[in-house]
Amino acid sequence: MTNYRVAVIPGDGIGPEVVKEAVHVLELLEKLDPSFQMEFAAFDWNSEYFLVNGKMMPEDALDTLKNYDAILFGAIGDKRVPDDVTVWELIMPIRKRFNQYINLRPVKLLKGVPGRYQGETIDFAIVRENAEGEYSNSGGRLYPGTEQEMAIQNTVITRTGTKKVARFAFDYAKKHGKSTVTSATKSNAIVHSMKLWDEAVKEVGKEFPAVQLQSYYIDALAAYFVMRPEELDVVVASNLFGDILSDLGAAIVGGLGLSPSANLNPEGEFPSMFEPVHGSAPDIAGKGIANPIAQIWSAALMLEHLGRKDLADVILAAIERVLVQKQVRTPDLGGSATTMDMGSAIREAIQLLLLVKEGQS
Ligand code: NAI
Ligand code: MG
């Protein structure tokens, strides 16, 4: 029997509302599958914690988290605390200290999702570099407050860092039976860093003869996302390009309520962290109407990472079943169901699917 230890950080706003549903799903799987056990530890590190303690989490928080197999994260953000504090004092330290250099975002159009791509097969993954690139704090400003004022923001692209993210992307393609990896570049204009990016990606591509590498300029690729998303398999991108493409990807498959993500430390030296793409949604927080699918799907990605793809597949099939039936829909999908309605519909579907599976075996 496997026993996984999961640290749960619900966070702010709708975070706790959707995390609750995801944890209920995991608890149900535990009950239905005796070979799988989870131990949860919840941490109340959020904006409220900051207002009381003057920091987002305790000094030894990362040492504490290090002992867990994975982190299930909700969302953070509260108008009483500046956004750069919540992000840079909670999410970033976890991503950086735990060397979660991959941000994996599946872009999959589930059956039953309303929108202009309904009926199309869109199923690809964005592999975003999560540790270096454009999001570095190297740089500075000169002559502040004068007309001569200038700012320099350095992009850090390393051969090692790029090869690691490229290797993950090719490996992901190979494991998932995908035939292409599409690299987002701009080496025609950004001639130093992006040329190194191109070279490093190409070098890794040679190790994977069965997977074809195609390289697109980021502007053309943005259009490609909208015009021909069904042709994409795996997209590999730098930190900034991957960030922007991820929101575009989310938009074409139903929006933020349906978009999960994984911050991965592929070597497993540290815990990886699983969180929806969305934030704390203060406009709907407390109303009980947030769509919990992004969070539940993030929990499924966690199970896949922990080696239980079978259970992750059951969760995804259950989500799809509920969407296809169209009876339970949260307001972002055009319905009037609550977060809890959606959570229990998905759990019912899981129960049903596992019973059918049992019946077949
Ligand atoms: P947001 O993702 O919280 O909300 C954007 C829009 O999408 C809102 O209208 C919201 O109601 C809707 N939405 C988001 N998730 C939804 C769900 N599950 N179901 C239904 N509707 C949903 O982004 P926004 O408004 O830019 O940021 C709000 C706060 O969240 C800010 O403080 C921001 O810093 C923080 N944030 C935190 C993130 C994180 O914890 N990783 C990521 C993004 C933003
Ligand atoms: Mg973003």
Model pLDDT for residues 215-240, shown as the tens digit of each residue: 999 999 999 999 999 999 999 999 99
CB of 197 closer than 8 Å to CB of 162: yes
284 lines ligand 1 (CB under 6 A): yes
CB of 110 closer than 8 Å to CB of 319: yes
Q: Which ligand is nearest to the CA of 79?
A: 1
- List pLDDT tens digits, range 322-339: 999 999 999 999 999 999
Phi (first) and psi of residue 322, to 5 degrees? -65, -40
Residue 62's pLDDT is 97
Q: pLDDT-derived band of residue 291, with 50, 70 and 90 as boundaries?
A: very high
128-162 burial, b for 16+ CB within 10 Å, e for fewer?
A: bbbbbbbbeeeeeeeeeeeeeeeeeeebbbbeebb
Tell me the β-bridge partners of 123.
108
Which residues neighbour 167 within 8 Å (Cβ) at sequence distance 6 or greater? 204, 207
Which residues neighbour 54 within 8 Å (Cβ) at sequence distance 6 or greater? none
For ligand 1, atom 44, the nearest C-alpha belongs to: 279
CA distance linking residue 118 with residue 112, whole number of Å = 7
Residue 356's pLDDT is 79
Phi (first) and psi of residue 184, to 5 degrees? -90, 125
- List pLDDT tens digits, range 176-213: 999 999 999 999 999 999 999 999 999 999 999 999 99
- The candidate with the shortest Cα–Cα distance to 293, out of 283, 278, 308, 306, is 278
75 lines ligand 1 (CB under 6 A): yes
Tell me the β-bridge partners of 81.
78
Token output for 188: 């025609």
Give the mean pLDDT of the chain.
95
pTM, entire model:
0.93
Neighbouring C-beta atoms of residue 175, cutoff 10 Å: 8
Q: What average pLDDT score do residues 266-283 get?
A: 96
Residue 138's pLDDT is 87
19 lines ligand 1 (CB under 6 A): no
Q: Which ligand is nearest to the CA of 91?
A: 1
Residue 118's pLDDT is 87
- List pLDDT tens digits, range 166-179: 999 999 999 999 99
For ligand 1, atom 33, the nearest C-alpha belongs to: 77
DSSP secondary structure letter of residue 151: E
Residue 135's pLDDT is 86
DSSP conformation letters of 160-180: HHHHHHHHHHHHHHHHTT--E
For ligand 1, atom 40, the nearest C-alpha belongs to: 75
Cα dihedral across residues 270, 271, 275, 279: positive or negative: negative
For the CA of 75, the nearest atom of ligand 1: 40
Pocket test of ligand 1: the residue of 47, 88, 256 to mutate, having most ligand atoms within 8 Å of its CB, is 256
Which residues neighbour 90 within 8 Å (Cβ) at sequence distance 6 or greater? 9, 11, 45, 56, 57, 76
283 lines ligand 1 (CB under 6 A): yes
How far does the centroid of ligand 1 lie from the alpha carbon of residue 261, in Å? 14
How far does the centroid of ligand 2 lie from the alpha carbon of residue 303, in Å? 23
Q: At what angle do helices 15-32 and 293-305 cross, to 10 degrees?
A: 50
- List pLDDT tens digits, range 58-109: 999 999 999 999 999 999 999 999 998 999 899 989 999 999 999 999 999 9
For ligand 1, atom 20, the nearest C-alpha belongs to: 290
Q: Where are the beta strands (DSSP E) in the chain?
A: 2-11, 36-42, 70-75, 102-108, 123-129, 139-142, 150-153, 180-185, 212-217, 234-237, 260-264, 272-276
CB of 199 closer than 8 Å to CB of 234: no
Pocket test of ligand 1: the residue of 9, 278, 338 to mutate, having most ligand atoms within 8 Å of its CB, is 278
109 lines ligand 1 (CB under 6 A): no
Reply yes or no on whether the pLDDT at 57 is more than 80: yes
CA distance linking residue 6 with residue 246, whole number of Å = 26
Reply yes or no on whether the pLDDT at 349 is more than 70: yes
Which amino acid, one-letter code, is at 182?
A: T
Reply yes or no on whether the pLDDT at 133 is more than 80: yes
How far does the centroid of ligand 1 lie from the alpha carbon of residue 42, in Å? 21
- List pLDDT tens digits, range 238-249: 999 999 999 999
Which residues neighbour 1 within 8 Å (Cβ) at sequence distance 6 or greater? 34, 35, 36, 37
Q: Which ligand is nearest to the CA of 255?
A: 1
- Please measure the distance between the N-terminal and C-terminal CA atoms of the chain and give it in whole angstroms: 20
